[in-house]
Structure 1
Amino acid sequence: MADSEDKAPESAGGETLTTLDVGRIMQAIPHRFPFLLVDRVVDLVRGQSCTGIKNVTINEHVFQGHFPRHPVFPGVMIIESMAQTAGVLVVETLGPEAQGKLVYFMSVEGAKFRKPVVPGDQMRVHVTKLRQRGNVWKFSAEAKVDGAVVAEATYAAMILDS
């Protein structure tokens, strides 16, 4: 897929993919508009880490009610963006073995929200795999806007047949 995947040199832990476009993301995870919260994935190292990009725009459906005169991207949507980014990492790591499987949230720990995310922000979600035991994976994530941490969390997910 030359249009949706650019490869970089292999790293010690796994193959590095520099960019996955939204088409490749939608092949990896089942989310669709208006709930697809990852626009691009960059610097994906299979089995290790990746960065998801979410461009926050005033056209997001959540801004109709959160909050109309002071739009703030909801913290739960930031956490979901983290989870979707991790889901892409899992599917890209497992490869063909992931066919027909879904990534389900199990837990969220230590979630902290440091600064509001507002329309016009580009959120970069940095996800790192902490461990994998069987079909359970644990991750840490940080969301940043302009290099400043806006949110962080540790969470677990289970990979199951759909």
Structure 2
Amino acid sequence: MTNEETTKGHASLLLDDQLCFALYAAQRAVTAAYRPLLDELGITYPQYLVLLVLWERGETTVKELAAALRLDYGTMSPLLKRLETAGLVRRERATHDERSVLVACTGRAEELRERAAGVPGALLTATELADGEVARLREELWRLAERAGAAAERTR
């Protein structure tokens, strides 16, 4: 009996049939496609994501930054430390609440923003995705993230 025959009426256990594996493979491939573009800027993909949030929102708290990126504080702290060491962000305690740490871009990060402006278009060119395909895919992925998040909440 083949694996397919034993799984009839049940979810497949074939690796290539797994949604999670397709997402994992796509994420790794997209991150790899970003790598040479970000290497030219001297930053990693996670650092790029942090900078995107800061360029969009301006100065923000570590807590808000972590929420925007869906990361925990333990992941944010070393990431911000490396960005600070590279001279791209500054961190300081909020004057109104000593427990809160504010993060902002430095002038060097603002200069990098101009160079980073070409990254999204370069990635689309490299992947040969049309604008409509990107919009549809992004919409479907956000819907999946919302549904998976709700399912995770229900099982807690």
TM range (shorter): under 0.3
> Does 1 or 2 have the higher relative contact order (CA < 8 Å, sep 6+)?
1
Higher strand share: 1
TM-score under structure 1 normalisation?
Answer: 0.23
Question: Which structure's CA Rg is the greater one?
Answer: 2
TM-score under structure 2 normalisation?
Answer: 0.23
